[in-house]
Structure 1
């Protein structure tokens, strides 16, 4: 039994060591990419920025998988792009590429047959070609208008066969292109949201306060002269844990919340004789309807509050929301 435990412990230590070695090798490969963020990188960015069509990414095998991710990252950050399999391109999909497009061809060796077979056809059509290879002297690198070097000292695979460090370096170079172009285009969070409408990311970026707030007769509001008991009744009926307090012009003066109620319980106030104006929180934190719901979440977290009154330009309450509303909307 002891031998079994020792064997398991030794294997666990080996797994950890092997994992750390991979991380160290690939981290070194990524760090050395700084050498290749050079004039050729700037030239590639200029070509892509001036593209009036789409960016077509091609690659075989593992390079193809990385190419698909690069195309997706470009497309989601303001550079229209898609992936074309070079094998399929030789059998009709080359028709997807127009004269207005730019092609990024990925091959670590720069000698991948399926990529090289279509590269001359791409060039013949006058389409600009950007290559990403680990060998600047390769055929693909020489054919390209711009070459991005992704050379690595060694693969993390101990056999030196499975693409590991090289695919990581390629992915990082693709991210560098996408983010550089994002900056150049002045791409914003709102732009990003338009291509990510689904899931929690879309909800955080697209939902505004007016999409989630309670409005009209669902907004808890009492006059400043109202009694504490009347305010508590309003809070109970509207169920938001708070009520807005307004003046005769319906402008917001303050807010009274469940937290305020807990703080005054030991004062033994007469709930019928005490006016809400004497116990409310004056000048409360508010928000406008056009603000992103995600910003409301940050405000509530920063201020350690559970609800917000929504006001218009005249400081009149037009809505209200609390943490539960953001949770139901998927913003949390």
Structure 2
């Protein structure tokens, strides 16, 4: 291991800027080199009845893993097979219905060239992403995508840096083009990312987060203000729902209603609850997305919503805290 030289903050900053400049230029240089091969690759994958199998070795192998993951999460079923492992049995994962994407900057990786004839014998189609159009891998492929770079960002021009960034960008371009061609939408993305914030926002419905049954703070229209306050405290929703015996909501008595009543009345204990409550409160259906409930609350600057069925009957309620707890907002 070489001995470290004295550290210079200025030199390290200059080196970082140099690396980013070279890698940005490497990606930008891909744009004018895109040609008819790119849509052919997209069409080939769209037409394939099987899956996309991404393969590579070394640093481009790591890029290949990321490409397979990106494809799989954006509507194109894909998985990664290490080129060395493919030559020792994993080749059996590839069928004639599949499309293989092979990544290699040199296009001459022995491990990849060993399996290429076997892949083609299987009947699978081959897309190569390399840095050399005249390489053996590029020539053997059905479609070649040029991800070549003029130099690596490594100061020795040895370590795969700009070349792996270019391959990554080319793979992302392919994945996004496929996403667009398939009409892949937000809801589709959410289904493959149920644990993420987008998944929660697009897959969580009001019925999943609403409170119902005994958890609802409810009083009858003839209840006293004191009864409503006690129920409001018990429910912890910042309101008491005023509803008849058939669960037909007449209104809600909220913290805001209480403040307004105290400001306008000397003694509210004997006031009729129906004169203080908010009539025709905002409501939403149980099948609506929880994100819609959040948007409705924010737009009308309220903290609670009633949940009613198609007949207008009360089935639940929720407040902003319920949505926060469910991590919808």
TM-score, reference length from structure 2:
0.88
Question: Using a 3 Å threshold, how does the CA distance of structure 1 residues 75 and 223 change in structure 2: closer, same or farther?
Answer: same
Give 2:191's match in structure 1, choosing from 184, 194, 200.
Answer: 194
Please report how far the alpha carbon of residue 40 of structure 1 lies from its aligned counterpart in structure 2 after TM superposition: 1.3
Distance 1:25 1:280 in 2: 66
Uncovered stretches (5+) of structure 1, i.e. residues with no partner: 1-6
1:275 and 2:272 matched:
yes
Deviations 1:167-222 (A, max 9, x none): 12211221222222222222233333332333555434432211111112322334
Aligned partner of 2:253 among 248, 252, 256: 256
Is the aligned partner of 1:112 residue 2:109? yes
Q: In the alignment, which residue of structure 1 is the partner of 2:42?
A: 45
Q: 1:185 aligns with which of 182, 185, 204?
A: 182
Deviation at 1:224, TM superposition (A): 4.5
Contact 2:95–2:123 (Cα < 8 Å) also in 1: no
Counterpart CA distance in 2 for 1:329 and 1:135 is 50
**2:153 touches 2:162 (CA, 8 Å); kept in 1?**
yes
Residue 129 of structure 1, CA deviation:
0.4
Number of corresponding residues: 324
Q: 1:293 aligns with which of 290, 295, 303?
A: 290
Q: Are 1:313 and 2:306 matched, yes or no?
A: no
1:182–1:283 Cα change, 3 Å = farther
CA distance in 2, matches of 1:256, 1:300: 16
Q: Tell me by how many angstroms 1:279 deviates.
A: 3.1
Matched ranges for 1:96-135 at <5 A: 96-135=93-132
Cα pair 1:244 1:317 within 8 Å, conserved:
no
Residue 63 of structure 1 deviates from its aligned partner by 0.5
Structure 2: unaligned runs, 5 residues or longer: 1-5
Question: RMSD over aligned Cα, in angstroms?
Answer: 2.4
Bigger CA drift: 140-149 or 277-286? 277-286
Q: Distance in 2 between matches of 1:291 and 1:242?
A: 22
Aligned equivalents of 2:16, 2:299: Cα separation in 1? 39
Cross-structure match for 2:151: 154
Task: From the superposition, tell whether residues 224 and 28 of structure 1 become closer, same or farther in structure 2 (CA, over 3 Å).
Answer: farther
Which of residues 13, 16, 23 in structure 2 aligns to 1:19? 16
